[in-house]
Structure 1
């Protein structure tokens, strides 16, 4: 299936990048005379143009500094000869999870904004909610020389492998995509400043993470963050989708689960250590969150050594 040249891709922040091969193609070498395809993604950066790239059925003319992203098994070749000094770097890589394509009219700034990122701040959050980098299929970066330097370093790592060269190569490819994504935001004049309310929310989350096993009441929270409790409750609900005390309970149950599996402390001692003075209330709350009693959870999962 053909991808249009102006498609966009979303790449998860948690994407694992594995560089497979790199190379530098110059002039009209024999490689330009036949069709290519491979099971990996491939990104090109033109050092000197023009490069006449045929991608599936699209004939493209890439100029100096342009980048182009090919998808797995996408057929590509040259559709016209160029001059002997024209050239480009190419990098084949594996990505898990894969890049998610979007329509050309896909908005550059995701409408959910910081609400999308907010649950990742929670200790009990899910990695599946990680934000994405927005990558254009075809792009002319402003910081082309900085990007070219990264391609040169990456190609050098793969051409002269030593030690942990694959690890370093993955890091360099990540830097390449980060630079492209940041350059795109700057080029489109998109607002990337963190809202003040989100900063206050992160401070509150960090405070709760460190004090959940005590009693972080209204007076304590206000004194630590120098903000009204009502405002803090509002922004916490806005960004997390839950109340402050629901999150405190989640943190306590999370810690209790760890202790049930990794210690031999009795249930009443575990309840006390995570902030519950009433072990019966703790057991009822534990069952509400995990759908089993603390004793059953321990039987099913541990403790270590059993």
Structure 2
């Protein structure tokens, strides 16, 4: 089952902690009006929600839903984290990872990958997709999640100002991390018809975002991706709405805007650092993509930031 999680709504954490059972133990029966998240550190946890049985091991994540009975069905030794919380913006998406749902998830990621990080408009989806049960294979991601949970438990124990708010923010961060990992591993590798095309475009986006400061030619891209440039341009446009060249220029101008806002470098240096060697062409391209020259943009920034001269 895949759950839809609205990240615009902050989860409200009531209780968080970890337990370590060195002798075999069976989870007690209960039915509560809140969600319970389990993340296993070691050992095994045998738990049943309604009539569905789960065997949880290290790296497993299970989200138990509110008002559905759950209980253990076999004794075992285990070490796990738990989080009790409420959230009105969680809905069931699908019992399985269908082609339609996978495409929806991939299209959502694609919108983020091609978005303008400096844009003031926030028209991107606030939805993330979380599997009810998921196994985290990536050890570094799992370590990162354990770290978030350990920090949250420490805050819960200390009870400093707004501690539950911080814990709730950490839980939101944790869910987004799980959603990203799920999309990167399970969804991108699912056997839907256009998955290979998506992955090629996604890899090309990653390549451009990494190498935008270099001189990127169609020959370079063909050689790197071992595909005809016209074909790559066609599938890139069909999935992003941009040609490859337009996207490269867009990334360069976004990075240039960041440098104008955060440094005192001259425009020639900025142009060179984002992969545009000609000052004239940089100014022309900047105006084409932003509607103002670099000088006009800098003046606007200086007016908007008090004390900046």
* Structure 1 residue 114 displacement after superposition: 2.9
Could you tell me whether the CA contact under 8 Å between 1:222 and 1:229 is conserved in 2? yes
Instruction: Give the Cα–Cα distance (whole angstroms) in 2 for the partners of residues 130 and 112 of structure 1.
Output: 14
**What does 1:1-306 align with in structure 2 at a 5 Å threshold?**
9-11=3-5, 19-21=13-15, 41-43=34-36, 62-63=50-51, 65=53, 69-70=65-66, 91-93=83-85, 99-101=89-91, 109-110=100-101, 111-112=103-104, 114-122=106-114, 124=116, 128-129=124-125, 132-134=128-130, 166=167, 170=171, 174=175, 191=191, 195-302=195-302, 306=309
Indicate how the Cα distance of structure 1 residues 258 and 107 shifts in structure 2: closer, same or farther if over 3 A, else same. Answer: closer
TM score, norm. by length of structure 1: 0.55
Indicate how the Cα distance of structure 1 residues 242 and 100 shifts in structure 2: closer, same or farther if over 3 A, else same. Answer: farther
Point out where structure 1 has 5 or more consecutive residues left out of the alignment.
1-6, 52-61, 71-75, 79-84, 144-153
Instruction: Give the Cα–Cα distance (whole angstroms) in 1 for the partners of residues 82 and 210 of structure 2.
Output: 47
Could you tell me whether the CA contact under 8 Å between 1:22 and 1:90 is conserved in 2? yes
Could you tell me whether the CA contact under 8 Å between 2:11 and 2:168 is conserved in 1? no
SS at match of 1:264: coil
* Structure 1 residue 217 displacement after superposition: 1.4
Larger radius of gyration: 1
* Structure 1 residue 245 displacement after superposition: 0.8
SS at match of 1:298: helix
Could you tell me whether the CA contact under 8 Å between 1:20 and 1:92 is conserved in 2? yes
Could you tell me whether the CA contact under 8 Å between 2:112 and 2:124 is conserved in 1? no
Indicate how the Cα distance of structure 1 residues 259 and 10 shifts in structure 2: closer, same or farther if over 3 A, else same. Answer: same
Instruction: Give the Cα–Cα distance (whole angstroms) in 2 for the partners of residues 130 and 241 of structure 1.
Output: 21
Instruction: Give the Cα–Cα distance (whole angstroms) in 2 for the partners of residues 229 and 114 of structure 1.
Output: 23
What does the per-residue CA deviation read over 1:184-235, in whole Å, with 9 as the maximum and x for residues that have no partner? x99xxx7579822223223322332233233311212112222211221122
Instruction: Give the Cα–Cα distance (whole angstroms) in 1 for the partners of residues 82 and 255 of structure 2.
Output: 47
Could you tell me whether the CA contact under 8 Å between 1:11 and 1:135 is conserved in 2? no
* Structure 1 residue 9 displacement after superposition: 4.3
Instruction: Give the Cα–Cα distance (whole angstroms) in 2 for the partners of residues 160 and 256 of structure 1.
Output: 39
Could you tell me whether the CA contact under 8 Å between 1:201 and 1:236 is conserved in 2? yes
* Structure 1 residue 255 displacement after superposition: 1.6
* Cα RMSD, aligned residues only: 5.4
* Structure 1 residue 246 displacement after superposition: 0.7
Could you tell me whether the CA contact under 8 Å between 1:18 and 1:170 is conserved in 2? no
Could you tell me whether the CA contact under 8 Å between 1:42 and 1:90 is conserved in 2? no
SS at match of 1:239: helix
Instruction: Give the Cα–Cα distance (whole angstroms) in 2 for the partners of residues 113 and 241 of structure 1.
Output: 17
Could you tell me whether the CA contact under 8 Å between 2:10 and 2:168 is conserved in 1? no
Point out where structure 2 has 5 or more consecutive residues left out of the alignment.
20-26, 39-44, 55-62, 74-80, 136-148
